[in-house]
Chains A and B, each alone.
Chain A
Amino acid sequence: MIAMLQRLAWSLVILLGVTFLTFVIAYIVPSDPARTVAGPKADPETLATIRKEMGLDQPVPVQYARYLERLIHGDLGRSYLTRQNVTQAILERLPATAYLALTSLGAAALIGIVVGCLTAVGQGSAMDLSVLVASLIALSLPVFWIGMMLLYFLAYRARLFPLGGFGGVNVVLPACTLALGGAAYYTRLLHTNMRAVLDQDYIRAAHARGLSPWRVYGKHALRNAIIPLVTLLGLDFAGLMSGVVLTETVFNWPGLGRLAVEAVFNQDIPMIMGTVLFSAVLVVGANMVVDLLYLTIDPRIRYRGL
């Protein structure tokens, strides 16, 4: 329980740091933040109003406090292009990203567990090396390139999948694109863990007791090999979000990543900073959930604390 509370407090510290960094990027780095918010075409009167609205005449700590106050009320500002509320725009795009990200995360974990176990059971250093080399090559493929290749060969040439669109079967190609890197990483991790676990005495004991191989590998070995995977699923959330940006751009998927890229093309600073801050908050949240989950799965950690 104490470990869990510590973990919560830790997340709050990180969140504060995250807001400070976005504040620095949006308010301190540009020479005139009002201009970045209002856009290059704004007239002097608008600029003056915005400067006052943003409190740019105030000292920096006061500005940061006000920024935090707005964030707590869920106010990320307005898009200077459409005048749309940034928080609202993000929440509208969130389900599409969640659908894509969770599908591909599930696919990556499933592929990683199945392939990692199968390759670990067939022992031998040649197999170890092939798993390493194959996963290194898979991790070296640029996400957007895989997406375009899949689109060209499977959707355009073979006509197996629709070329574009949202929902239903349309998720298959983007999810595969996004899942490849994770699948490669989890495969290598599970393979290594499984090999280490299979050398342990209790596995030999389980075999000796006459348990079926299915039971030995599936239950006794897998349960221990899978624990580190849980943390990685969370740690990799930031990497997943980077992949989401590219995948959504390739497939024109109407999610958060596409929103951020569109905002960059329009130089829509409030929208850019909003999506960046929001995704960082998502990452902090995901890491926290995973750590809390980890505390529940592996009781040994409780006594050590975090």
Chain B
Amino acid sequence: MLTVGHGKQRYLAVIGGAMIVVLVLIAIFAPWLAPFDPLKAVADSFGDPFPPGGRYLLGTDELGRDVLSRLLFGARISLFVAVVATSLTLVIGVTIGVCSGFLGGWIDTLLMRCTDVVLSFPALLLAIALAALFQPGLTSILVVIALVSWTGVARTVRGEVLSLRERDFVAAARALGGTPLRLMVRHVLPNVLPTIVVMGALSTSNTVLLDAGLSYLGLGVPVPTPSWGRMISDSQTYYRLAPWLMICPGIAIVYAVVAFNFLGYGLLAIVSGRERR
């Protein structure tokens, strides 16, 4: 892992964390914050988007809907996909990583070879292929994202477990007659937790980007309230006439990804700093 400027890097966690709190609050209070209904045409003139300013703070889209309200509601679906897909990613990645690192032998070889095989596929292309085969829907997008992004987590966790396995407390627990399952869950897993938290934050930023990419290609979540990625995708025909339709949701995505990246790298500095001492 790349770590530079340890001392100050940890403040990134605070900044990222604060940005995420704001995002969560926006998602929760979207119905109260949004000035208009995100799904209904509110502008007087139909078909001619209003530029930002005045009554419509961030303008309206080609169907006369308020962009700000759509962005605020979009935070809900984007955050939901990010959190659930990342949780699935972590479940797969941690299970494979812990089993591989702790059990060793042929299980380790087999699991790591599988990881290498999945890593050989460009994530977005594999996701496209899977999304094209599954029935379109919220669940399939979440599963597809998890199926293509668990590899990094599995590798990192395995590396961590490999060194933990040799430590005295594991040997002690084993000597007391702990079964492999109990050793993994009760003794190894809690010690990998800091790494899992860091990986969770970093995977979330990847998940948001992957979800945005899939939505841009028209393979995103088919819900009435659009995700930010789909708003950009929808703006493609109009962006020369109405650039705010592309710029605003883009900034929202960047905000979310930067927040999780800051949190992840800040936590990484804290975790690796603690180990050093």
Contacts and interface: CB of A to CB of B under 8 A. Distances in A.
Interface in A286-306: 287
A29 interface: yes
25 contacts: A18-B121, A25-B129, A125-B8, A128-B4, A131-B4, A132-B12, A132-B265, A140-B258, A141-B254, A145-B254, A149-B250, A152-B240, A188-B2, A192-B3, A239-B122, A244-B122, A245-B128, A249-B216, A260-B125, A264-B128, A269-B132, A269-B133, A276-B129, A280-B120, A283-B120
B241 to A, nearest CB: 10
A148 B254 CA distance: 14
A230 interface: no
Interface residues of B, number: 51
Nearest to B151: A238
Interface string B90-123: 0000000000000000000000011011111111
Contacts of B8: 125-126, 129
Interface string A5-46: 000000001100110110001000110000010000000000
| Interface of A: prevailing SS | helix
Contacts of A238: 119-123
Contact of B250 (A25, A142, A276): A142
Interface residues of A, number: 60
A141 to B, nearest CB: 6
B227 to A, nearest CB: 12
A13 B113 contact: yes
A153 B265 CA distance: 32
Nearest to B253: A142
A191 to B, nearest CB: 7
A261 B129 CA distance: 10
Given A126-B5, A246-B217, A287-B120, 11 more contacts: A129-B5, A132-B12, A140-B261, A142-B232, A142-B254, A148-B239, A148-B250, A152-B239, A238-B122, A238-B123, A249-B216
